[in-house]
Amino acid sequence: MYLRCLLVPTAPGIDATRRLDAALRLGQRLHAHINVSFMAPGPEHVLAGMASLVPMDCATIEAIERGVREAAADGQAALRAWCARQGVPFAASGGRLDATFATWTELSGEVEPLLTLAGRVSDLVLVDQPDPERPFTGRALDTALFSVGRPTLMVGKTLPDDLLDHVMIAWNGSLEATRLIGQSITLLHEAGRVTVVHARTERFEEARAADLCAYLRWHGIVAEAVTREASEPHAVGAAILGEAERRNASLLALGAYTHSRVREFLLGGVTRHVVEHARLPVLMAH
C-alpha cells in the first residue's frame, strides 16, 4: 500500500507544527502530499453547548461565525508561514504526484464525523499525543483509531530527525497488529532498520508461530527479532517502551487496543500505557 496522502487534522487553538514536521519528513521519503484539514464546530454546534449559559441572538451567532473565520485565517497563515520556512509548496488544490506539497481545507461540524470521512480518503492520519487540556487531541486520536480504518501516527513531544531510521514493531500475532503491518509495508521498506519485539505473555507461542520476520523477508525487509520478559500482563507496555528506548528506536509500530477500550481503561493495558507514556512517535491501527 502506497502512502501518498497524509492527513493532519487541526482545530482552533491547536498548534500543528510538530505534526507538520513529522509529515514532511515522511512525505519527502514517500513522495506524499500533506493535507491540513481545519475542523471547527459550526454555530449550531456551539449554540447547542451554550444554550443554557447565554441568550441566543443574531449578534451571538455572528460573533461565533466571526471567531471561527478568524481562527481559520490564523491557522492558514500559520501553515503558509511553515511552508515558507520549510520550502514546501502551498497548493490551493493539488500538485504533482511526485512532489511533496501542502494543501489546506476547512470543514465545519463535529470532529468525529469530519475526521472519519476525511481520514478514509487519506493513507495516514497524524494526531497529537492526547493532552487533557486540549480535548481535540483525545477526540482526534480516538476517531482516527476506531472510525477511520487507516494507520494513525501519534506524535509526541520528541520528534526524531529520521522517523524511519529504526522502526520497532510490537508483535503479538493479533488482528490489529496484522492490519498495521499490511497497511505499513511501504514505511517498513523505507526503514533503515527493523526490529520485531515479542513480549512473553499468554499469547507468546501464538505470536512465535506467526513468524513476522519470515513474512517480512518475502517483502524484501530484513528484521531482527527480540524477546522481552514481562512479569505481568500490565507490564507489557512498559517493557516495549523500555526496549524501544534501549535500542534507540525512532518509531514504534503497535496494533492498538487488542483488548476492549473499556477493559484497558479499567485494568490498564498495553495501548493505554503506550499512549500515555511514549516519548517516540507511535504508528497504530485498530
> Residue 198: pLDDT band by 50, 70, 90 thresholds?
confident
Q: Decide if 35 contacts 5 (C-beta within 8 A).
A: yes
The confidence score (pLDDT) of residue 61 equals: 72
How much is the pLDDT for 26? 97
Give me the domains of the chain, ranges plus CATH numbers: 5-154 (3.40.50.620), 167-285 (3.40.50.620)
Burial of 132 (0-12, 13-18, 19+ CB in 10 A): exposed
More confident site: 111 or 235: 111
Angle at 117 between CA 78 and CA 5, to 5 degrees: 60
| Section 69-88 average pLDDT | 96
Q: Above 70 in pLDDT, residue 209? A: no
pLDDT cut 70: percent of the chain above it: 83
Q: How far is CA 186 from the centre of its chain?
A: 16
pLDDT, tens digit, 9 for 90 and up, residues 133-152: 999 999 999 999 999 999 99
Q: How far apart are alpha carbons 135 and 231 in whole angstroms?
A: 34
Q: Comparing C-alpha atoms, which of 172, 177, 125 is closest to residue 147?
A: 125
Given a cut of 60, whether residue 49 has pLDDT beyond it is no
